[in-house]
Amino acid sequence: MIDRPRGGRAGAPLGTWLGLLIALTGVRLLVCGLAPLSADESYYWVWSRALAPGYLDHPPMVALWIRVGTWLVGDGPLGVRLLAPISAGLGTLLLGVAAADLCGGTPLQRRQHAIIAGVLLNATLVLGIGSVTMTPDTPLLFFWTLTLVGLGRALASGRGAWWLLVGVAIGLALDSKYTAVLTGIGLALWLVTTRAGRVWLRTPWPWLAGLLALLLFAPVMEWNRLHGWASFAKQGGRTDAWQPARAGRYLAELVGGQIGLATPVILVLLVVGMKHALSAGRRGVTGLSLLAWITLLPVAVFVQHAFGDRVQANWPGLLYPGAVIAAAGTAATARWWRPAAALGFVLVLPVYVQAAFAPFPLPLAVDITGKRLAGWEGLAMRVDEAAGGGFVAADEYGLAAELARALPGRVVLGVEPRWRLFRLPHATGSEAGGVLVRSERRHDGPDPEFWAGMTPAGEVDRAGGGHVLERYRLFRVTLRPDLPPEQHLQIVRLPTPR
């Protein structure tokens, strides 16, 4: 059985916790509206202007969420991010349902597990930052939490129909980000290797869930088939790297990233919770054995990947809902969840303030929000002046997307192979001359394949917080009139906001 908490009771009325969650959601909505968009968010906004079943980098769910938000409140930062804080609030309630079912216990213990799991997840930077930005991880976290609800309900009630929710949620998680396949494989292995799982396999419900997930993921697979398996090749290409000599550095980065995103004390509680889930699973505790499989298998994959390449800190983020549920059922968490959560919120709050208002004059080396968010509007104005009556071009996708958002009356060309995969209006012959913008970080020269003429035209800066954040070179360019059609598709006109 699970550890029965001996202290730290979440004794406030449920209405109080709900009020705090609503207030937190309001704060997050405010930050969403005030903080400028990052280059990646602007890039995903471009996706939302050219909806498709797939894209080079990820499946399409983030584009659909942005399209809904901008339809409701416009193309500003709040519209792009609108569903992030809303999904975090709803997801917290769903997480509580899943924690109560998977941890079990008396009604009071179930309530305590639900509250502790929800508070801990909201106190991490994974959800703290994820709830005020719009990336593929945002819908992924929501739909994986919904998957846990279906699994918890199925195990607690014994009703097989809950597996249909599991299938739908896994399918939508796969439509959000490909890493959802790791937790899906963990679930499949739990079904095959445990007695409780094999009992379910003798019913039609898990099979129907799998079919539903495949049907929902089928448009993404078909898009990949029609585009030379481009997205699968890009993401699958990460799996064959093997450089064990660098494993020490990559593993240290992986652990360090999780210390930062989970916050230190919460990470310790998550590790304790997963250790407890693993040992309880060996004793046949159904809910905790399930959490162990769907969490520890992806952890093993990320560790293996670190023997060949860097694991981005956000990749393990989908494991946090299951891990906080496992942690919520342990005696150690019952004693430490309040100070752990307090530290987490103390670390999250300055990030919100700096992103929204930038009041702290931070050194450039540690000004992470400034590097990602600041100075795009000023850069666009300087580029607009330099371009005169011509087009603006960029051969870096994030830069092209930021310029397209900031210059709605200007033709902005994305000059990169990925743009061939978009259904966007092509450049026309009347747009023959303009300015190419290139970061000085790039030491190679512009690709002459696209340009009939190219002349250096000075430099511009992206500045913020009293720092020059990045410097760009300008080139006066003209398009080649003889570009073959398949090459011409690489030069596209990004849509303007409505």
Query: What's the pLDDT tens digit per position in 92-125?
Result: 999 999 999 999 888 999 999 999 999 999 999 9
The pLDDT tens digits for 316-344 are 999 999 999 999 988 778 889 999 999 99
Specify the pLDDT at position 153.
Answer: 97
Output the pLDDT for position 90.
98
Closest CA to 439 of 474, 463, 411: 474
User: Is pLDDT of 9 > 70?
Assistant: no
Model-level pTM? 0.92
Question: Is residue 204 over pLDDT 80?
Answer: yes
As given in the structure block, the two tokens for residue 489 are 């598709």
Average pLDDT over residues 33-55: 94
pLDDT at residue 216 above 90?
A: yes
Q: Which residues of 132-156 are buried (b: 16+ CB within 10 A; e: fewer)?
A: bbbbbbbbbbbbbbbbbbbbbbbbb
236: Cα separation from own chain's centroid: 18
User: Which band of pLDDT confidence, cut at 50, 70 and 90, is reported for residue 237?
Assistant: low
What pLDDT score was predicted for residue 490?
Answer: 53
Average pLDDT, the chain: 89
| CA separation, residue 52 to residues 99, 196, 233, 424 (Å) | 35, 40, 18, 11
The full DSSP string for 6-42 is -S----S-HHHHHHHHHHHHHHHHHHHHHSPPPHHHH
CB 166 within 8 A of CB 150: yes
- Which residue shows structure tokens 């092209």? 400
Between 131-135, 150-154, 276-280, the lowest mean confidence (pLDDT) is in: 276-280
Mean pLDDT to the nearest integer, 128-143: 96
Q: Residue 7 pLDDT more than 50?
A: no
Residue 306 pLDDT greater than 50, yes or no? yes
Task: Identify the pLDDT of residue 5.
Answer: 45
Query: pLDDT for 349-396, tens place per residue?
Result: 999 998 988 888 888 777 888 889 999 999 999 999 998 888 899 989
Task: Name the more confident of 442 and 1.
Answer: 442
Task: Please check the confidence at residue 275 and state whether its pLDDT lies above 60.
Answer: yes
The pLDDT of residue 427 is above 70: no
Q: How confident is the model at residue 194 (pLDDT cuts 50, 70, 90)?
A: very high
* More confident position, 491 or 470: 470
Residue 293 confidence (pLDDT): 93
* pLDDT at residue number 164: 98
* pLDDT value at 484 more than 70: no
DSSP string, 296-364: HHHHHHHHHHTTTS---TTGGGGGHHHHHHHHHTSHHHHHHHHHHHHHHHHHHHHHHHHHHH--S---G
pLDDT at 241 over 70: no
Q: Say what the pLDDT of residue 2 is.
A: 46
Closest CA to 48 of 25, 72, 70, 16: 70
* 263-274 pLDDT, tens digit each: 999 999 999 999
Backbone angles phi, psi at 211, to 5 degrees: -65, -45
Predicted confidence (pLDDT) at residue 281 exceeds the cutoff of 90: no
Please name every residue paired with 459 in a beta bridge, in sequence order, or none if there are none: 473
State which amino acid sits at residue 88.
A
Cα torsion at 274, 275, 278, 280 (round to 10°)? -100
Cα distance between residue 356 and residue 369, in whole Å: 9
Of 234-243, 324-333, 368-377, 457-466, the one with minimum mean pLDDT is 234-243
Quick one: pLDDT at residue 280?
81
Residue 426: the pLDDT is: 67
